[in-house]
Amino acid sequence: MGASVLVIDDSKTAREAIVTLLKKEGVFASYHEAVDGEAGLELLRNLPVDVVMCDVNMPGICGFEVLRILRAETQYADLPVIMLTSNGEQKDVVHGLELGASDYVTKPFDPQELIARVKTQLKIKMLQDQLKTLANTDPLTGLSNRRCLFEALTRELSRSQRFGKPCSLVMLDVDNFKNVNDRFGHFLGDEVLVAVANRLQSATRIYDLAARYGGEEFALLLPDTDSAQAFIVAERIRNQIEIMFFPDELESLKLTISAGIASFPGSEVEIVDDMVSLADRALYKAKHGGRNRVEVGL
């Protein structure tokens, strides 16, 4: 997906000049325009935007107010916002930077300077996005990591509580994984974990989250899913892994997993920790019940 820019300016001439210039340079894949602050904020809430260029002097809410509103919201706290100030208004520049503007361009603008400033902000945004992805991803398997799982679980549980919808957490653990490592070595052991991760990923719907919880333990977050439905999902994965075929040196490997399920609404599930420990207890039960099985936490 290419980058996108939003130009907020009450002057049609200014908007067109900026968009034409950026288009000519091919800086972005998509270009959006708004005639005032309110329209700009509305667009931002409905479209993915990587860089905002915002005029200071506009009817209705001014550029500073737009900036203030954006910086107050977590999701826009780091969004690059370049203020468009009029020549000679040095105090506007200072005020904008104090409010958290990423940079500013003075009108009438120098085309090369504007492009350079925009490109710099876009580069910063791309690096921020990459860092966010890295911070949320398990490097071996490419699944979400535990940190990301907890964030998503917190969000999902509060959503479920607010709207009275169910959600489920499935904890899955590869059975006797230590034996796999002992028999085949850690390098092939890692390959096995990647294969399990891929299986989990393909078993999930677009709004589910598959995560590596740590070591050979994985987790699935299933929104809008009660414990009976979660059981079906977990049982299907358990079965798919049992019949999974490994090539080459791993050909003789027979892999199984155990799983434990916790669901909201469920007994004593009020916070994220309740859900995790309930799923853990169910997983423990599955292990002690002979492994290669799914248990629902009650």
Bridge partners, residue 264, by sequence: 167
The token duo for 52 is 């905002």
**What residues contact 14, with CB distance under 8 A and at least 6 apart?**
55, 84, 107
- Give the span between the Cα atoms of 54 and 67, in whole angstroms: 8
Residues 6+ apart with CB under 8 A from 35: 9, 10, 12
Whole-angstrom CA distances from 190 to 82, 141, 195, 254, 273 are: 45, 9, 9, 15, 28
Please, which residue, 90 or 130, has the CB nearer to Mg ion? Answer: 90
Minimum gap (Å) between residue 11 Cβ and Mg ion: 5
**Smallest gap from residue 40 Cβ to Mg ion (A):** 12
Choosing from 151, 216, 268, 270, the catalytic residue is: 216
First vs last C-alpha separation in the chain? 43
3 state SS of 232: helix
Chain residues that interact with Mg ion, rule: CB under 5 A: 10, 55, 57-58
Nearer to Mg ion, 57 or 136 (CB): 57
Two structure tokens written together for 219: 């987790």
Mapping DSSP to helix (H, G, I), strand (E, B) and coil, where does residue 139 land?
Answer: coil
Nearer to Mg ion, 55 or 156 (CB): 55
Angle at 175 between CA 224 and CA 216, to 5 degrees: 70
CB of 28 to Mg ion, least distance (A): 22
- Minimum Å gap between C-beta 107 and Mg ion is 8
Question: Measured from the CB atom, is 95 or 146 closer to Mg ion?
Answer: 95
The sheet with strand 294-296 has its strands ordered as 209-214, 217-223, 167-174, 257-264, 294-296
Residue 216 designated active-site? yes
What's the min distance (Å) between Cβ of 10 and Mg ion?
5
Nearer Cβ to Mg ion (16/182):
16
- Give catalytic residue positions: 216
